[in-house]
Structure 1
Amino acid sequence: MGQCIAVVSGKGGTGKTSFTAGVGAALALSGLRVLCVDCDIGLRNLDIALGLSDAALMDFSDVAQQRCTLERAVVSHPQLAKLSLLTAPIRQRGQPVTGEQMASLLRAVRIQYDFCLLDAPAGLGDGFLLATAAADRCVVVTTADASSLRDAQHTVMELGRFGPGKLHLVVNRVRKKLLRSMHATIDDAMDKAGLPLLGVVPEDDALPLALNRGSPILLSAPASPASSAYRNIATRLRGGKAPLLRIK
Protein backbone atom coordinates (compact mmCIF):
# COMPACT_ATOMS: atom_id res chain seq x y z
CA MET A 1 0.00 0.00 0.00
CA GLY A 2 1.39 3.37 -1.02
CA GLN A 3 1.53 6.56 0.98
CA CYS A 4 0.29 10.05 0.22
CA ILE A 5 2.37 13.07 1.25
CA ALA A 6 1.02 16.63 1.12
CA VAL A 7 3.63 19.26 0.27
CA VAL A 8 2.52 22.55 1.83
CA SER A 9 3.76 26.05 2.58
CA GLY A 10 2.38 29.00 4.48
CA LYS A 11 3.26 31.47 1.75
CA GLY A 12 4.07 31.54 -1.94
CA GLY A 13 7.57 31.63 -3.37
CA THR A 14 9.09 28.88 -1.25
CA GLY A 15 9.74 26.62 -4.26
CA LYS A 16 7.18 24.03 -3.20
CA THR A 17 6.22 22.99 -6.74
CA SER A 18 9.84 22.60 -7.84
CA PHE A 19 10.43 20.53 -4.72
CA THR A 20 7.44 18.29 -5.51
CA ALA A 21 8.65 17.74 -9.07
CA GLY A 22 12.25 17.14 -8.02
CA VAL A 23 11.51 14.66 -5.25
CA GLY A 24 8.86 12.95 -7.36
CA ALA A 25 11.39 12.45 -10.15
CA ALA A 26 13.99 11.18 -7.66
CA LEU A 27 11.57 8.62 -6.24
CA ALA A 28 10.63 7.47 -9.76
CA LEU A 29 14.29 7.13 -10.76
CA SER A 30 14.76 4.83 -7.76
CA GLY A 31 12.22 2.44 -9.30
CA LEU A 32 9.09 3.41 -7.36
CA ARG A 33 5.70 4.20 -8.86
CA VAL A 34 5.04 7.88 -8.22
CA LEU A 35 2.01 10.10 -8.81
CA CYS A 36 2.32 13.87 -8.45
CA VAL A 37 -1.02 15.62 -7.91
CA ASP A 38 -1.42 19.34 -8.52
CA CYS A 39 -4.02 20.64 -6.05
CA ASP A 40 -3.81 24.32 -7.07
CA ILE A 41 -7.09 24.93 -8.90
CA GLY A 42 -6.77 27.72 -11.45
CA LEU A 43 -3.06 28.34 -10.89
CA ARG A 44 -1.63 24.93 -11.65
CA ASN A 45 2.00 24.76 -12.78
CA LEU A 46 3.24 21.38 -11.64
CA ASP A 47 2.91 20.20 -15.24
CA ILE A 48 5.51 22.79 -16.28
CA ALA A 49 7.90 21.76 -13.50
CA LEU A 50 7.62 18.12 -14.60
CA GLY A 51 8.03 18.90 -18.29
CA LEU A 52 4.43 17.88 -19.03
CA SER A 53 3.04 21.27 -19.96
CA ASP A 54 -0.61 21.06 -21.12
CA ALA A 55 -0.35 17.28 -21.54
CA ALA A 56 -3.37 16.47 -19.33
CA LEU A 57 -6.95 16.57 -20.55
CA MET A 58 -8.64 15.41 -17.35
CA ASP A 59 -7.96 16.52 -13.78
CA PHE A 60 -8.29 15.32 -10.19
CA SER A 61 -11.85 16.67 -9.90
CA ASP A 62 -12.91 14.48 -12.84
CA VAL A 63 -11.65 11.41 -10.98
CA ALA A 64 -12.85 12.45 -7.51
CA GLN A 65 -16.35 13.19 -8.84
CA GLN A 66 -16.38 10.04 -10.98
CA ARG A 67 -16.46 11.63 -14.41
CA CYS A 68 -13.55 9.44 -15.46
CA THR A 69 -11.22 6.79 -14.08
CA LEU A 70 -7.85 7.45 -12.48
CA GLU A 71 -6.16 5.55 -15.31
CA ARG A 72 -7.66 7.87 -17.94
CA ALA A 73 -6.83 11.07 -16.09
CA VAL A 74 -3.15 10.52 -15.23
CA VAL A 75 -0.40 11.44 -17.67
CA SER A 76 2.78 9.35 -17.75
CA HIS A 77 6.13 11.06 -18.16
CA PRO A 78 7.73 10.20 -21.52
CA GLN A 79 11.24 9.85 -20.04
CA LEU A 80 10.48 8.63 -16.51
CA ALA A 81 8.35 5.53 -16.86
CA LYS A 82 7.45 5.37 -13.16
CA LEU A 83 6.37 9.02 -12.87
CA SER A 84 2.84 10.28 -13.55
CA LEU A 85 0.89 13.51 -13.13
CA LEU A 86 -2.71 14.16 -12.10
CA THR A 87 -3.33 17.82 -12.73
CA ALA A 88 -5.68 20.39 -11.18
CA PRO A 89 -8.70 21.92 -12.91
CA ILE A 90 -8.10 25.10 -14.88
CA ARG A 91 -11.14 26.54 -13.12
CA GLN A 92 -13.74 25.42 -10.62
CA ARG A 93 -16.64 23.64 -12.33
CA GLY A 94 -19.84 22.87 -10.49
CA GLN A 95 -19.60 21.70 -6.90
CA PRO A 96 -16.14 21.72 -5.27
CA VAL A 97 -14.43 18.42 -4.53
CA THR A 98 -15.16 17.39 -0.94
CA GLY A 99 -12.76 15.95 1.58
CA GLU A 100 -14.62 12.64 1.38
CA GLN A 101 -14.25 12.55 -2.40
CA MET A 102 -10.55 13.32 -2.13
CA ALA A 103 -10.13 10.57 0.46
CA SER A 104 -11.80 8.09 -1.89
CA LEU A 105 -9.50 9.18 -4.72
CA LEU A 106 -6.41 8.71 -2.57
CA ARG A 107 -7.51 5.22 -1.52
CA ALA A 108 -7.40 4.25 -5.20
CA VAL A 109 -4.05 6.04 -5.63
CA ARG A 110 -2.48 4.08 -2.76
CA ILE A 111 -3.32 0.82 -4.51
CA GLN A 112 -1.63 1.79 -7.77
CA TYR A 113 1.33 3.90 -6.60
CA ASP A 114 4.09 3.63 -4.04
CA PHE A 115 4.16 7.38 -3.41
CA CYS A 116 1.74 10.21 -4.11
CA LEU A 117 2.97 13.79 -3.67
CA LEU A 118 0.16 16.34 -3.35
CA ASP A 119 1.32 19.83 -4.32
CA ALA A 120 -0.94 22.06 -2.22
CA PRO A 121 -1.54 25.72 -3.09
CA ALA A 122 0.25 28.24 -0.90
CA GLY A 123 -1.62 29.45 2.16
CA LEU A 124 -4.20 27.84 4.39
CA GLY A 125 -7.32 28.00 2.24
CA ASP A 126 -9.60 25.39 0.69
CA GLY A 127 -6.87 23.90 -1.51
CA PHE A 128 -4.62 23.38 1.50
CA LEU A 129 -7.45 21.68 3.40
CA LEU A 130 -8.24 19.44 0.43
CA ALA A 131 -4.61 18.39 -0.07
CA THR A 132 -4.10 17.56 3.60
CA ALA A 133 -7.53 16.05 4.34
CA ALA A 134 -6.56 12.45 3.59
CA ALA A 135 -2.75 12.63 3.40
CA ASP A 136 -0.62 10.26 5.46
CA ARG A 137 2.18 12.77 6.04
CA CYS A 138 2.96 16.42 5.38
CA VAL A 139 6.12 18.21 4.33
CA VAL A 140 6.21 21.90 5.18
CA VAL A 141 8.44 23.78 2.74
CA THR A 142 9.92 27.06 3.89
CA THR A 143 12.81 29.36 3.09
CA ALA A 144 15.16 30.68 5.75
CA ASP A 145 13.76 34.22 5.87
CA ALA A 146 11.82 35.34 8.93
CA SER A 147 8.44 35.84 7.24
CA SER A 148 8.51 32.40 5.64
CA LEU A 149 9.44 30.76 8.96
CA ARG A 150 6.58 32.57 10.72
CA ASP A 151 4.17 31.31 8.06
CA ALA A 152 5.60 27.81 8.49
CA GLN A 153 4.80 28.02 12.22
CA HIS A 154 1.21 29.00 11.41
CA THR A 155 0.99 26.13 8.94
CA VAL A 156 2.15 23.63 11.56
CA MET A 157 -0.58 24.85 13.91
CA GLU A 158 -3.16 23.88 11.26
CA LEU A 159 -1.74 20.36 10.99
CA GLY A 160 -2.27 19.24 14.57
CA ARG A 161 -3.91 15.97 13.57
CA PHE A 162 -0.61 14.66 12.20
CA GLY A 163 1.23 12.89 15.00
CA PRO A 164 4.96 12.48 15.67
CA GLY A 165 6.90 11.41 12.61
CA LYS A 166 4.15 12.59 10.25
CA LEU A 167 5.23 16.22 9.87
CA HIS A 168 8.54 17.24 8.32
CA LEU A 169 10.37 20.45 7.49
CA VAL A 170 12.29 21.26 4.31
CA VAL A 171 14.32 24.46 4.14
CA ASN A 172 14.41 25.38 0.48
CA ARG A 173 16.30 27.88 -1.67
CA VAL A 174 19.11 28.15 0.87
CA ARG A 175 21.89 30.60 0.03
CA LYS A 176 25.02 30.35 2.13
CA LYS A 177 25.87 34.05 1.98
CA LEU A 178 22.34 35.07 2.95
CA LEU A 179 22.36 32.82 5.99
CA ARG A 180 25.67 34.24 7.08
CA SER A 181 24.45 37.81 6.74
CA MET A 182 21.35 36.98 8.78
CA HIS A 183 23.41 35.12 11.40
CA ALA A 184 20.90 32.32 10.87
CA THR A 185 21.37 28.56 10.97
CA ILE A 186 19.30 25.62 9.88
CA ASP A 187 18.84 24.78 13.54
CA ASP A 188 17.12 28.15 13.96
CA ALA A 189 14.70 27.21 11.18
CA MET A 190 13.95 23.88 12.88
CA ASP A 191 13.35 25.53 16.23
CA LYS A 192 11.08 28.24 14.82
CA ALA A 193 8.98 25.84 12.74
CA GLY A 194 8.95 23.20 15.48
CA LEU A 195 9.51 20.31 13.08
CA PRO A 196 12.17 17.66 12.43
CA LEU A 197 14.30 18.46 9.40
CA LEU A 198 13.76 16.28 6.33
CA GLY A 199 16.20 18.12 4.10
CA VAL A 200 17.86 21.30 2.92
CA VAL A 201 17.76 22.34 -0.75
CA PRO A 202 20.23 24.97 -1.94
CA GLU A 203 19.44 27.80 -4.29
CA ASP A 204 20.39 26.45 -7.71
CA ASP A 205 20.58 28.30 -11.04
CA ALA A 206 19.96 24.98 -12.79
CA LEU A 207 16.33 24.99 -11.59
CA PRO A 208 15.01 27.89 -13.72
CA LEU A 209 17.03 26.60 -16.66
CA ALA A 210 15.38 23.18 -16.34
CA LEU A 211 11.98 24.85 -16.06
CA ASN A 212 12.55 26.80 -19.26
CA ARG A 213 13.68 23.66 -21.04
CA GLY A 214 10.59 21.77 -19.93
CA SER A 215 12.59 19.03 -18.23
CA PRO A 216 12.85 17.87 -14.61
CA ILE A 217 16.16 19.02 -13.14
CA LEU A 218 17.17 15.43 -12.33
CA LEU A 219 17.21 14.76 -16.08
CA SER A 220 18.66 18.04 -17.34
CA ALA A 221 21.17 18.62 -14.53
CA PRO A 222 21.55 15.42 -12.51
CA ALA A 223 24.81 16.54 -10.86
CA SER A 224 23.46 19.91 -9.69
CA PRO A 225 23.24 20.70 -5.96
CA ALA A 226 19.43 20.73 -5.97
CA SER A 227 19.31 17.34 -7.72
CA SER A 228 21.60 15.87 -5.07
CA ALA A 229 19.37 17.31 -2.33
CA TYR A 230 16.23 15.88 -3.94
CA ARG A 231 17.80 12.42 -4.19
CA ASN A 232 18.81 12.52 -0.52
CA ILE A 233 15.31 13.59 0.55
CA ALA A 234 13.76 10.83 -1.58
CA THR A 235 16.03 8.31 0.14
CA ARG A 236 14.90 9.49 3.57
CA LEU A 237 11.23 9.38 2.55
CA ARG A 238 11.78 5.73 1.61
CA GLY A 239 13.16 5.09 5.09
CA GLY A 240 16.80 5.04 4.07
CA LYS A 241 19.74 7.07 5.34
CA ALA A 242 21.31 9.93 3.44
CA PRO A 243 23.41 12.89 4.55
CA LEU A 244 21.80 16.22 5.25
CA LEU A 245 23.22 19.22 3.50
CA ARG A 246 24.39 21.44 6.32
CA ILE A 247 24.88 25.13 5.72
CA LYS A 248 27.06 26.65 8.41
Structure 2
Amino acid sequence: MPAAAASSPLDPELIAAQFDGLDGRVLIEKALAEPRLGRIALVSSFGTEAAVLLALLAEVAPATPVIFLDTLRHFGETLRYRDKLVAHLGLTDVRSVKPDSAEIARRDPDLLLFQRDPDACCGLRKVEPLARALTGFGGWITGRKRFQAATRAVLPAVEWAPDEGRFKINPLASWAPDRVAAEFDARGLPHHPLEADGFPSIGCMPCTERVAPGADPRSGRWSGQAKTECGIHRPADPVSL
Protein backbone atom coordinates (compact mmCIF):
# COMPACT_ATOMS: atom_id res chain seq x y z
CA MET A 1 0.00 0.00 0.00
CA PRO A 2 1.27 3.53 -0.70
CA ALA A 3 2.24 5.56 2.32
CA ALA A 4 -0.42 7.91 3.62
CA ALA A 5 0.05 11.51 2.56
CA ALA A 6 1.47 13.76 5.23
CA SER A 7 -1.03 16.07 6.88
CA SER A 8 -1.04 19.60 5.57
CA PRO A 9 0.32 22.15 8.04
CA LEU A 10 -2.24 24.30 9.78
CA ASP A 11 -2.85 27.62 8.05
CA PRO A 12 -2.80 30.26 10.85
CA GLU A 13 -4.58 32.88 8.76
CA LEU A 14 -7.35 30.40 7.94
CA ILE A 15 -7.67 29.56 11.64
CA ALA A 16 -7.93 33.28 12.47
CA ALA A 17 -10.64 33.75 9.83
CA GLN A 18 -12.78 31.10 11.51
CA PHE A 19 -13.41 33.50 14.41
CA ASP A 20 -14.74 36.25 12.17
CA GLY A 21 -18.01 37.71 13.48
CA LEU A 22 -17.41 36.77 17.12
CA ASP A 23 -16.77 39.33 19.83
CA GLY A 24 -16.86 39.96 23.55
CA ARG A 25 -17.25 37.11 26.01
CA VAL A 26 -18.11 34.60 23.30
CA LEU A 27 -14.86 35.25 21.47
CA ILE A 28 -12.84 34.99 24.69
CA GLU A 29 -14.47 31.67 25.55
CA LYS A 30 -13.92 30.25 22.05
CA ALA A 31 -10.31 31.44 21.90
CA LEU A 32 -9.37 30.02 25.28
CA ALA A 33 -10.97 26.69 24.37
CA GLU A 34 -9.28 26.43 20.94
CA PRO A 35 -6.07 24.33 21.26
CA ARG A 36 -4.80 25.48 17.86
CA LEU A 37 -4.30 29.00 19.26
CA GLY A 38 -2.00 27.70 21.96
CA ARG A 39 -1.64 29.05 25.48
CA ILE A 40 -3.15 32.54 25.78
CA ALA A 41 -2.49 35.59 27.98
CA LEU A 42 -4.26 38.95 28.14
CA VAL A 43 -2.15 42.10 27.91
CA SER A 44 -3.63 45.17 29.58
CA SER A 45 -2.48 48.75 30.07
CA PHE A 46 -5.12 49.23 32.81
CA GLY A 47 -6.16 52.36 30.97
CA THR A 48 -9.51 54.08 30.71
CA GLU A 49 -11.30 51.28 28.81
CA ALA A 50 -9.43 48.29 30.24
CA ALA A 51 -11.97 47.32 32.89
CA VAL A 52 -14.53 45.97 30.41
CA LEU A 53 -12.17 43.47 28.77
CA LEU A 54 -10.75 42.42 32.13
CA ALA A 55 -14.28 41.93 33.50
CA LEU A 56 -15.18 39.66 30.61
CA LEU A 57 -12.05 37.62 31.18
CA ALA A 58 -12.73 37.39 34.90
CA GLU A 59 -16.17 35.93 34.17
CA VAL A 60 -14.78 33.31 31.81
CA ALA A 61 -11.41 32.34 33.29
CA PRO A 62 -10.04 34.55 36.10
CA ALA A 63 -6.82 32.52 36.33
CA THR A 64 -5.79 33.45 32.78
CA PRO A 65 -2.41 35.24 32.90
CA VAL A 66 -2.77 39.04 32.63
CA ILE A 67 0.38 40.92 31.65
CA PHE A 68 0.85 44.56 32.64
CA LEU A 69 3.86 46.38 31.19
CA ASP A 70 5.21 48.42 34.07
CA THR A 71 7.37 50.84 32.11
CA LEU A 72 8.47 52.60 35.33
CA ARG A 73 7.04 55.81 33.80
CA HIS A 74 3.34 55.27 34.54
CA PHE A 75 1.15 57.71 36.41
CA GLY A 76 0.76 56.71 40.05
CA GLU A 77 -2.99 56.74 39.43
CA THR A 78 -2.58 53.94 36.87
CA LEU A 79 -0.71 51.70 39.30
CA ARG A 80 -3.29 52.25 42.02
CA TYR A 81 -6.11 51.68 39.54
CA ARG A 82 -4.48 48.41 38.46
CA ASP A 83 -4.42 47.14 42.04
CA LYS A 84 -8.00 48.27 42.68
CA LEU A 85 -9.32 46.64 39.51
CA VAL A 86 -7.48 43.35 40.10
CA ALA A 87 -9.02 43.08 43.56
CA HIS A 88 -12.47 44.15 42.33
CA LEU A 89 -12.56 41.55 39.55
CA GLY A 90 -10.83 38.70 41.36
CA LEU A 91 -8.09 38.17 38.79
CA THR A 92 -5.56 35.70 40.17
CA ASP A 93 -2.54 35.81 37.84
CA VAL A 94 -1.54 39.40 37.08
CA ARG A 95 2.10 39.80 36.06
CA SER A 96 3.75 43.22 36.18
CA VAL A 97 6.62 43.08 33.70
CA LYS A 98 9.37 45.69 33.91
CA PRO A 99 12.16 46.69 31.52
CA ASP A 100 15.66 45.40 32.09
CA SER A 101 17.38 47.67 34.64
CA ALA A 102 20.80 47.25 33.03
CA GLU A 103 19.41 48.24 29.63
CA ILE A 104 17.76 51.32 31.12
CA ALA A 105 21.07 52.36 32.69
CA ARG A 106 22.82 51.86 29.35
CA ARG A 107 20.25 53.27 26.92
CA ASP A 108 18.29 55.78 29.02
CA PRO A 109 20.55 56.92 31.86
CA ASP A 110 19.04 60.43 32.08
CA LEU A 111 15.44 59.17 31.57
CA LEU A 112 15.03 61.49 28.59
CA LEU A 113 15.07 58.90 25.83
CA PHE A 114 11.34 59.58 25.33
CA GLN A 115 12.31 63.06 24.04
CA ARG A 116 15.24 62.01 21.88
CA ASP A 117 13.70 58.91 20.33
CA PRO A 118 10.20 57.92 21.51
CA ASP A 119 10.19 54.77 19.38
CA ALA A 120 13.40 53.60 21.04
CA CYS A 121 11.95 54.39 24.46
CA CYS A 122 8.83 52.32 23.72
CA GLY A 123 11.04 49.54 22.43
CA LEU A 124 13.05 49.51 25.64
CA ARG A 125 10.14 49.80 28.04
CA LYS A 126 7.32 48.00 26.22
CA VAL A 127 8.22 45.99 23.12
CA GLU A 128 11.21 44.12 24.52
CA PRO A 129 9.67 43.31 27.94
CA LEU A 130 6.46 42.08 26.29
CA ALA A 131 8.39 39.83 23.92
CA ARG A 132 10.05 38.22 26.93
CA ALA A 133 6.77 37.94 28.85
CA LEU A 134 4.96 36.24 25.95
CA THR A 135 7.55 33.51 25.54
CA GLY A 136 5.68 30.21 25.50
CA PHE A 137 2.31 31.75 24.63
CA GLY A 138 0.63 31.01 21.31
CA GLY A 139 -1.66 34.03 21.47
CA TRP A 140 -2.63 37.10 23.44
CA ILE A 141 -5.81 39.05 24.03
CA THR A 142 -5.76 42.79 23.35
CA GLY A 143 -8.19 45.61 24.06
CA ARG A 144 -7.81 47.33 20.70
CA LYS A 145 -10.89 48.72 18.96
CA ARG A 146 -11.45 49.91 15.40
CA PHE A 147 -12.74 53.33 16.44
CA GLN A 148 -9.55 54.23 18.31
CA ALA A 149 -7.32 55.10 15.37
CA ALA A 150 -6.99 54.87 11.58
CA THR A 151 -4.30 52.22 12.10
CA ARG A 152 -6.93 50.03 13.76
CA ALA A 153 -9.85 50.62 11.41
CA VAL A 154 -9.81 47.15 9.84
CA LEU A 155 -8.91 45.18 12.93
CA PRO A 156 -10.21 41.57 12.77
CA ALA A 157 -11.52 39.55 15.69
CA VAL A 158 -8.49 37.25 15.56
CA GLU A 159 -5.35 37.87 13.56
CA TRP A 160 -2.13 36.03 12.89
CA ALA A 161 0.95 38.15 13.59
CA PRO A 162 3.71 36.61 11.45
CA ASP A 163 6.37 38.89 12.93
CA GLU A 164 5.58 37.40 16.36
CA GLY A 165 4.62 33.91 15.30
CA ARG A 166 1.46 34.00 17.42
CA PHE A 167 -2.20 34.96 17.33
CA LYS A 168 -3.79 38.18 18.58
CA ILE A 169 -7.36 38.05 19.85
CA ASN A 170 -9.33 41.32 19.77
CA PRO A 171 -12.68 40.73 21.55
CA LEU A 172 -13.69 44.40 21.49
CA ALA A 173 -12.54 45.22 17.94
CA SER A 174 -16.06 45.96 16.67
CA TRP A 175 -17.30 47.73 19.80
CA ALA A 176 -18.27 51.40 19.61
CA PRO A 177 -17.62 53.89 22.44
CA ASP A 178 -21.25 53.82 23.58
CA ARG A 179 -21.17 50.04 23.97
CA VAL A 180 -18.02 50.26 26.09
CA ALA A 181 -19.64 52.97 28.23
CA ALA A 182 -22.82 50.92 28.61
CA GLU A 183 -20.82 47.94 29.87
CA PHE A 184 -19.09 50.11 32.47
CA ASP A 185 -22.49 51.25 33.74
CA ALA A 186 -24.15 47.84 33.60
CA ARG A 187 -21.33 46.17 35.50
CA GLY A 188 -20.67 49.01 37.93
CA LEU A 189 -16.99 49.06 36.95
CA PRO A 190 -14.64 51.63 38.51
CA HIS A 191 -13.19 54.21 36.14
CA HIS A 192 -9.56 55.24 35.83
CA PRO A 193 -9.23 58.32 38.07
CA LEU A 194 -7.52 60.37 35.33
CA GLU A 195 -10.39 59.94 32.86
CA ALA A 196 -12.46 62.64 34.56
CA ASP A 197 -9.43 64.93 34.45
CA GLY A 198 -9.30 65.01 30.63
CA PHE A 199 -7.26 61.88 29.85
CA PRO A 200 -9.36 59.55 27.65
CA SER A 201 -6.28 57.52 26.61
CA ILE A 202 -3.46 56.97 29.08
CA GLY A 203 0.06 55.70 28.60
CA CYS A 204 3.34 56.70 30.18
CA MET A 205 3.26 59.97 32.10
CA PRO A 206 5.86 61.89 30.01
CA CYS A 207 4.09 61.06 26.72
CA THR A 208 0.43 61.56 27.71
CA GLU A 209 -1.43 64.87 27.70
CA ARG A 210 -4.99 65.97 28.33
CA VAL A 211 -7.32 65.97 25.34
CA ALA A 212 -9.74 68.75 24.47
CA PRO A 213 -13.46 67.77 24.54
CA GLY A 214 -14.48 66.25 21.22
CA ALA A 215 -10.91 65.67 20.01
CA ASP A 216 -9.49 62.29 18.97
CA PRO A 217 -9.17 60.35 22.24
CA ARG A 218 -5.65 59.23 21.32
CA SER A 219 -4.45 62.71 20.32
CA GLY A 220 -2.97 63.15 23.76
CA ARG A 221 -0.54 60.29 23.18
CA TRP A 222 2.82 61.41 21.76
CA SER A 223 1.21 64.75 20.94
CA GLY A 224 2.93 66.68 18.15
CA GLN A 225 4.81 63.65 16.87
CA ALA A 226 4.22 61.35 13.90
CA LYS A 227 3.53 58.45 16.25
CA THR A 228 0.25 56.73 17.06
CA GLU A 229 1.35 53.29 18.33
CA CYS A 230 3.95 52.26 20.89
CA GLY A 231 5.27 49.45 18.72
CA ILE A 232 3.73 46.37 20.29
CA HIS A 233 1.02 46.51 17.63
CA ARG A 234 1.31 46.95 13.90
CA PRO A 235 -1.55 48.22 11.71
CA ALA A 236 -3.82 45.50 10.42
CA ASP A 237 -3.38 44.92 6.70
CA PRO A 238 -6.71 45.51 4.91
CA VAL A 239 -5.57 43.43 1.93
CA SER A 240 -5.30 40.30 4.05
CA LEU A 241 -8.80 40.48 5.53
State TM-score, norm by structure 2: 0.32
**Between structures 1 and 2, the one with greater strand share:** 1
State TM-score, norm by structure 1: 0.31
